[in-house]
Amino acid sequence: MMNQQTRPSVNPLAWWKSCSIYQIYPRSFQDSDGDGVGDLPGLLSRVDYLAWLGVGAVWLSPVYRSPMVDFGYDISDYTDIDPLFGTLADFDRVVDALHERRIRLILDVVPNHTSDQHSWFIESRSSRDNPRRDWYVWADPGPDGLPPNNWLSRFGGSAWEWDERTGQYYYHAFLREQPDLNWHNPAVREAFADVLRFWLRRGVDGFRVDASAVLAEDPLLRDDPPNPDFDAEMPPTDKFKRVFTDIRPETMSYIEEMRAVLDAFPDRVLLGEVQEGFRHIGQFYGGERPRFHLPLNSLLLETDWDAASIAARIDQYINAIPDGAWPVWVLGGHDKPRIATRVGLQQARIAAMLLFTLSGTPIFFEGDEIGMPSSQISSEDACDPFEIRVPGFGLNRDPERAPMRWDASEKAGFTTGEPWLPLGDDVAQRNVAFERGDERSLLSLYRQLIALRQTEPALLAGDFRPLRSRGNVLLFRRCTRDRQLLIALNVSDGSETVSLRGGGMVRLNSLLDRIGEPVDSQLYLRPNEGVIAESCVPERANE
């Protein structure tokens, strides 16, 4: 296992600011043993691809021991690898192989809940006087003998499960097989700190904290108020406003404690899944007591795809984070609809160009770089417990979790067996091998954007200067004292022209066929085309 002296070197900027982060959902990345499920040896076989692509860090979804009721987010042992994925020795080999290629590893960690098969919970539910009883959230029935309050599980129904043996209910924000840890208990917090230390000592470069906003619940167990916006078109899980379970003040102090654990190890990073869009994201950075380095921001996946709406979302986010905070942008993930399906394959190029030219750290999901679509998986065929328990509201996360396409073979190079989820359509052309052979493919664009951001000071750490977007063109500049880039993104299927004062040169365009082209007083944009131009200033730019 790699020691501290041989860890990847530090860039002038912190590594998590200067690199692009690539999320891997291990079940769907690469299978090595023919069981149809991806694993760590499979990931190891694809490390050279990650180095070729140019990513600087991998965010790896859970590989811990788990009954797999929620595909690894129900953890029965925080300090071991599930045999489905391999062994601790396999994990160590992955860490070393990534570090040898100067790629960091960020491990997904799930502090809000465990599996009901975790030894902690088995002890907790064994009796009311067990020393670990208070490690989970237990409560007596209400006066009517029903659950203690009206809290709802995100996966449908009451968030309380009756335990016949001990005559109390336990709380679960998600599945009943995922009981919530009691983060009010200092012993729980110290035990979880030890979990983080275990992996940090093993060479992990940081963590992405799952469901961080729901760590603490109201100790008075007060009822959540009705949601005034609720209607029949919304999932029944939205019937109440989650005032007493989400983003509680204590949660922030618990995140600060996690951050303190990481700060005791040099050069590590803490990412966090947060909620409520931009409205609460600022507080997750912290102040004098720091919290997350990077509270994840998925606004690009939620905005209407037109120039005015995108510009507004960017502005709202930039104004919501604290002064001096480092932005972060997420273009895809294991529980977010695929960008190529959401905006179309042509606009997926524009989305990629936007991701890598905005100020901050870019994060994308395996397969985004080849334009993988969301697979068509019906409710009847769903594996996702979210869709199974709350059907008919578009909550199915299976479509974005379809296996990676490596080539045009029958099983797309992912497995020799039967893939755990359908591969989806258009495998013959949307696969890594095909796109690596096309110098103008979306994959080639991703690779060039990653390299340009890595080497261009204006993109890496330059000022972000929004411009007034007119019509269908999103405009902004990235500037240093002696460097200036104009980013012009046509989000429509019609041609557009941007008037300029002073010329320049195309550094990169989304179709990869105008690089080095001189630009004079007019910048012409074809339908669905984006351009990064050097030393261009828009005419009458209102900044």
CATH code of the domain in which 12 resides: 3.20.20.80
Q: What would you measure as the largest C-alpha separation in the chain, in angstroms?
A: 78
Q: Which of 175, 172, 170 is nearest to 71 (CA)?
A: 175
Would residue 227 count as lying in a domain?
Answer: no
425 and 484 co-located in one domain:
no
Contacts of 234 (CB under 8 A, 6+ apart): 393
Cα–Cα distance measured from residue 506 to residue 316, given in angstroms and rounded to the nearest whole number? 29
Q: Which of 291, 259, 258 is nearest to 274 (CA)?
A: 291
258 and 306 co-located in one domain:
yes
Q: For residue 475, give the CATH number of its domain.
A: 2.60.40.1180
Would residue 129 count as lying in a domain?
Answer: no
Considering the candidates 210, 366, 496, 529, report the single residue annotated as catalytic. 210
pLDDT at 539: 63
Give the chain's domain count. Answer: 2
Cα–Cα distance measured from residue 532 to residue 543, given in angstroms and rounded to the nearest whole number? 18
77 and 196 co-located in one domain:
yes
CA distances in angstroms from 266 to 43, 104, 200, 327, listed in the order given: 26, 13, 10, 21
Q: Which of 63, 25, 67, 65 is nearest to 177 (CA)?
A: 67
Do 215 and 183 touch, CB atoms closer than 8 A? yes
Would residue 378 count as lying in a domain?
Answer: no
Would residue 127 count as lying in a domain?
Answer: no
**DSSP per residue, 34-103:** SSSS--HHHHHHTHHHHHHHT-SEEEE---EE---TTTTSS-SEEEEE-TTT--HHHHHHHHHHHHHTT-
pLDDT at 78: 98
Structure confidence by residue, pLDDT tens digits, 335-377: 999 999 999 999 999 999 999 999 999 999 999 999 999 988 8
DSSP, res 403 = P
429 and 475 co-located in one domain:
no
Q: Count Cα atoms within 13 angstroms, Cβ side, for 157.
A: 13
437 and 498 co-located in one domain:
no
199 and 317 co-located in one domain:
yes
313 and 430 co-located in one domain:
yes
Could you tell me the sign of the dihedral formed by the alpha carbons of 301, 438, 17, 464, in that order?
negative
Would residue 94 count as lying in a domain?
Answer: yes
Cα 69 from chain centroid? Answer: 21
* Location of structure tokens 């396999």: 90
Query: Which tokens sit at 263?
Result: 């700060």
Contacts of 246 (CB under 8 A, 6+ apart): 213, 214, 275, 276
Final residue belonging to a domain, choices 425, 453, 481: 453
400 exposed, middle or buried (CB, 10 Å; 0-12, 13-18, 19+)?
A: buried
Would residue 148 count as lying in a domain?
Answer: no
Q: Which of 484, 506, 514, 509 is nearest to 353 (CA)?
A: 509
* Location of structure tokens 């919290």: 291
Final residue belonging to a domain, choices 453, 475, 495: 453
317 and 431 co-located in one domain:
yes
Q: Which of 134, 124, 242, 246 is nearest to 186 (CA)?
A: 134
292 and 436 co-located in one domain:
yes
Do 374 and 337 touch, CB atoms closer than 8 A? yes
Would residue 154 count as lying in a domain?
Answer: no
**Residue-range definition of the domain harbouring residue 62:** 4-109+186-217+249-371+399-453
Active-site residue flag, 273: yes
261 and 342 co-located in one domain:
yes
Structure confidence by residue, pLDDT tens digits, 409-442: 999 999 999 999 999 889 999 999 999 999 999 9
Query: Which tokens sit at 165?
Result: 């043996």
Considering the candidates 39, 108, 273, 400, report the single residue annotated as catalytic. 273
This prediction's pTM: 0.95
297 and 424 co-located in one domain:
yes
Low-confidence ranges of the chain (pLDDT < 70): 1-11, 276-277, 536, 538-543
pLDDT at 393: 87
Active-site residue flag, 482: no
Would residue 491 count as lying in a domain?
Answer: yes
322 and 449 co-located in one domain:
yes
Q: How many Å from the N-terminal Cα to the C-terminal Cα in the chain?
A: 51
Do 116 and 176 touch, CB atoms closer than 8 A? yes
Q: Which of 423, 424, 415, 421 is nearest to 35 (CA)?
A: 415
